[in-house]
A and B are shown apart, each in its own frame.
Chain A
Amino acid sequence: MRIWLSIFVFAFALGAQGQEGDTAVVAEDFSMYADAELAGDAKRFCTSKVFDQSPNKLISLGYDFQGGHDLLIGVAEPLRVQAVHGIRLGSNFPVISKTNLLLNVGINYWEANYQIEKAENHPLARSLQNRGLRTTGVTATVFKPFNDKNFIFAQSVFDLNGDYYLPDFQSLTYTRVSGTVIYGWKKHDRLLYGFGVSRTYRIGEANYIPVFMYNYTAPSRKWGVESVFPARANLRRTFNARTLAFFGYELEGQTYRLSSLRGFDNIMNPELRRSELRIRFTFERSLKDFIWVSAQAGLRYNWSFNVDDGDFFRGFGNQPYALENDLSNALFFNVSVNLVSP
């Protein structure tokens, strides 16, 4: 008898527990949850984003196209470049995702294929036409908040740039390392900024520059700025959470090893210092749930297309380049499909 009584009490207790959960949902005074504190010795930390910032792209599959322009190599007659085009693949996965530490790691692959008229007239044009340019890289990004206001942002990039083909890969000894460290403040949910330094190849050759991060969303939540000066800056228009537009620029650059460039006695290790300023409109929209499409169009302004002998830091010196070249400006577009992060 006592056993059956126990079973009855146990079953009633379980039932009552379920009932309690259900009824708790019905009516509640939400104001009571305003006066609360974190349990234990937990701390609050600031996050890496401001309101309405564009979503992190886990995977990106894109295509980049530059229209016709002239290539002036040294003092030779200009050559006509009909197009420069290629795929751009990117990834950026959160490896550590804690409130007090974020670590993202990504792998990128970009290519630029050149279509040049009369490319056989110059070794550099021939090299570009036959081999194109490729970048394969690994990026690691760390966001380390110290409290709810201050943080450090650090990024290191390991790139292999050159005229290699994937089956005939370039030696890893030619890996180019760039990096950025920024100390910042998150003033509130709509404003984040920071100052730092960067070792960068964005102007083609290795350089060390100060950088300024500034991400802001206006109180209206319709406009904002996303920038890391001088690398990139964008004015953002938020139509809704799934439709964004940007206007701004990005300085893109790398130094590329040209193993197929022959015919110059004074250049033992030719490196193309390619750098371009892209002034552009960008439109991003969620196609369905986590699949976003991005379309970009604008002007590609040439910053550098010179050739040096080896990888070195020129600083503020005025050493001449081994081969001084110029590109006229061109229109470009870029389209990509992206899987965005939760």
Chain B
Amino acid sequence: MKRKTAFSALFSIIFIAAAWGQTQADAILGVWESGNGKARIKIDKAGDKYTGRIVWLREPNDEAGKPKVDKNNPEEALRTKPLLGYSMLKGFSYKGEKTWEDGTIYDPESGSTYSCTITMTDDNTLDVRGYIGVSLFGRTDVWKRVVVKKK
């Protein structure tokens, strides 16, 4: 009986720890606004990786009044792809201590893809650091969580 109780307690601890870790990792899920306020990005989970798609643009249309496309993409075949819905964050894994690493961020304004680390500084703030090779050669953009009003 004692052995059974100890086993149940151990399993409960493992279960709670796993659930807690999962909650921490998934804290990044949601909709975020970039530092310049030009875009909102929805971060989802696909398998064990975190990705982010553009779901809103302050200026959704180009100068001709048509929906913006990824015209600066170095791959010509992708230049007609709409920016709305575009995956700009890819391949992030949770590394503990509110940090997601090993991912990339795509900047549609330059057509460049950078290595990227995301750190959650509080529940509603992400430090998104894009860099070239090593973190020193980079820039941090601060994203704020947005609350979508339900219709």
Contact = CB atoms under 8 A, between A and B. Distances in A.
A176 to B, nearest CB: 29
Contacts of A17: 22, 26, 45
B20 to A, nearest CB: 13
A117 B119 CA distance: 61
B55 A242 contact: no
Contact of A219 (B33, B56, B63, B114): B63
B144 interface: yes
A339 B137 contact: yes
A22 B44 CA distance: 8
A195 interface: no
A72 interface: no
Given A10-B15, A290-B132, A342-B131, A36 B147 contact: yes
A3 B125 contact: no
Contacts of A38: 33, 124, 144-147
B40 A33 contact: yes
Interface string A50-62: 0100010011000
Interface string B83-127: 011000000000000000000010101111010000000011100
Given A33-B56, A47-B36, A42 B46 contact: no
Contact of B136 (A6, A36, A51, A93): A93
A99 interface: yes
Contacts of A30: 55-56, 84-85
A39 interface: yes
A37 interface: yes
Contact of A99 (B35, B55, B84, B109): B35
A342 B115 CA distance: 10
A118 interface: no
B110 A242 contact: yes
Nearest to B62: A221
Contact of A22 (B15, B47, B85, B136): B47
Contacts of B36: 47
A157 B50 CA distance: 42
B142 A241 contact: no
A14 B23 CA distance: 11
Nearest to A44: B37
B149 interface: yes
Contacts of B46: 18, 21-22, 25
Nearest to A101: B142
A25 B53 contact: yes
A17 B47 CA distance: 9
B80 to A, nearest CB: 15
A231 to B, nearest CB: 25
Nearest to A41: B124
Interface in A50-108: 51, 55, 58-59, 93-94, 97-99
Contact of A42 (B44, B109, B125): B125
B10 to A, nearest CB: 10
Contacts of A40: 123-124, 145
A220 to B, nearest CB: 6
Nearest to A42: B144
A122 B149 CA distance: 78
A10 B21 CA distance: 14
B77 interface: no
B111 A241 contact: yes
B63 A221 contact: yes
A33 B110 contact: no
Contacts of A148: 37
Nearest to A342: B130
B72 A242 contact: yes
Contacts of B137: 58-59, 339, 341
B35 to A, nearest CB: 5
B49 to A, nearest CB: 9
A47 B44 contact: no
B72 A241 contact: yes
Given A37-B146, A98-B140, A14 B124 contact: no
Interface of B: 7-8, 11, 15, 18, 22, 26, 29, 31, 33, 35-38, 40, 42, 44-48, 51, 53, 55-56, 58-59, 63, 71-72, 84-85, 105, 107, 109-112, 114, 123-125, 130-132, 136-142, 144-151
Please give me the 3 A-B residue pairs with the lowest Cβ-Cβ distance, nearest first.
Answer: A21-B45, A342-B130, A97-B140
5 contacts: A17-B26, A22-B47, A25-B51, A36-B148, A39-B147
